[in-house]
Amino acid sequence: MKIKLDSPLDMHLHLRDGDMLKRVAPLSSKSFAGALVMPNLIPPVTDKDMVEDYKTRILEAAGDESFEPYMTLFFKPEYDYDFLKDVKEKILAIKLYPAGITTNSSDGVDNFSVEALAPTLEAMSELGIPLCVHGETNGFVMDREAEFIPIYERLARRFPDLKIIMEHITTKEAVEALMRYENLYATITLHHLYITLDDVAGGLLRPHLFCKPIAKRPEDRMSLRKVAFMAHEKVMFGSDSAPHPRDKKEAPGCAAGVFTAPVALPGLAAIFEEAGVLENLQKFVSDNAQKIYGITPPKKEVILKKEPFEVPESYEDVVPMFSQQTLPWRIESVI
């Protein structure tokens, strides 16, 4: 059995910089036609020159003409209309992190009052720049996403013309909120379709499955699967593939992030096939994102074949999800 995917897109990807960028970029550009690249470098990507320079480094590392890095800017409440107008053509979205909530987010937002955010969000709304949000409070770890939902709702109501993307949703509450507002959309990762907290910490601790937001309950996973498997037009694939070197994961203080770039498409094919919805994968990994963001990615045809794929133990010093396991689907060819 085979399936053809046209121009798959990964709408939430961490590519890092330097040697790590060189290591991981080809693993995405090989099978994806484009990716929304997260700006949480050290220091974060906060102006036009940084965006342009980072994009140049990505293209060089990716070495593939049919891969488009869609760039993002790290949200700051001081961005004004003129600044954003100037940078607009170079970015596809702006990513908002609550301060200190995840990897490299210490420069994020700590005041979520509408007044504090309004000038920048109004300008984004007028200029048609979508807002991507890491929606977690600093509350109890399992409740952080659900606690953030009133903030999403406030923003969605106050800025009805602003497209707001709820990044890497993990809860049934998030799925429900998504459906209540026309201008809310969401990305869903591969790992949150597969795992619950049990897989992370229910037996031996699995540091390579530790990420933010933390995987939740079976009923949450069920809600995510439901909207992903039907390829609901408000959801799209965003891997949140977040590589960290082994010594930062297998450590007393484990860095948050699951590395899925090289296993994403086979992993999705496996779980969509198991659910009997392989025909919906095209929408989930490309068509929905094209509509939501209004983009036309480079042409890339990926053929997946139902044949065993033995996932490598590691890619240099980065351990992928499904390390040393066998997935039932593999990438046969890319044109």
Residues within the interface to Zn ion (CB under 5 A): 240
* Shortest reach from residue 246's CB to ligand NCD, in Å: 14
Burial 111-130 (b: 16+ CB within 10 A, else e): ebeeeebeebbbbbbeeebb
Q: What is the rounded distance in angstroms from the CA atom of residue 224 to the CA atom of residue 193?
A: 7
Q: Which is nearer to ligand NCD, 237 or 309 (CB)?
A: 237
Binds 295, which of ligand NCD, Zn ion, none (CB < 5 to 8 A, cut-off by type)?
A: none
Whose tokens are 């094209």? That residue is 290
User: For ligand NCD, which is the closer residue by CB, 5 or 149?
Assistant: 149
170 binds ligand NCD (CB under 6 A): no
Q: Which CB sits closer to ligand NCD, 8 or 257?
A: 257
Which entry of 220, 240, 247, 287 is annotated as an active-site residue? 240
**Sheet (strand 330-334) strand order:** 2-6, 301-305, 330-334
Nearer to Zn ion, 66 or 137 (CB): 137
**240 in active site:** yes
Residues 82-121 that bind ligand NCD (CB under 6 A): 102-104
Closest to Zn ion by CB, 29 or 241: 241
**CA distances from residue 265 to 7, 207, 238, 321 in whole angstroms, order as listed:** 12, 22, 11, 12
Residues in contact with ligand NCD, counted by CB under 6 A, come to a total of 12
Instruction: Establish if 230 lies at the interface with ligand NCD (CB under 6 A).
Output: no
Using CB under 6 A as the binding rule, whether residue 40 contacts ligand NCD is answered as yes
Quote the least distance from Cβ 274 to Zn ion, whole Å. 26
Q: Which does 212 bind (CB under 5 to 8 A by kind): Zn ion, ligand NCD, none?
A: ligand NCD
In the complex with ligand NCD, the residue whose CB is nearer, 31 or 170, is 170
> Cα 123 to the chain's mean position, in Å?
24
Find out whether 156 and 184 touch, Cβ atoms under 8 Å: yes
| Binder of residue 102, out of ligand NCD, Zn ion, none (CB less than 5 to 8 A by kind) | ligand NCD
Contact call for residue 240 and ligand NCD (CB under 6 A): yes
Q: Which does 256 bind (CB under 5 to 8 A by kind): Zn ion, ligand NCD, none?
A: ligand NCD
The binding track of 244-283 with respect to ligand NCD, each residue x by CB under 6 A or -, is ------------xx--------------------------
> Residue numbers of the site for ligand NCD (CB under 6 A)?
14, 40, 102-104, 134, 211-212, 240, 242, 256-257
Query: Which residues are tagged catalytic?
Result: 240
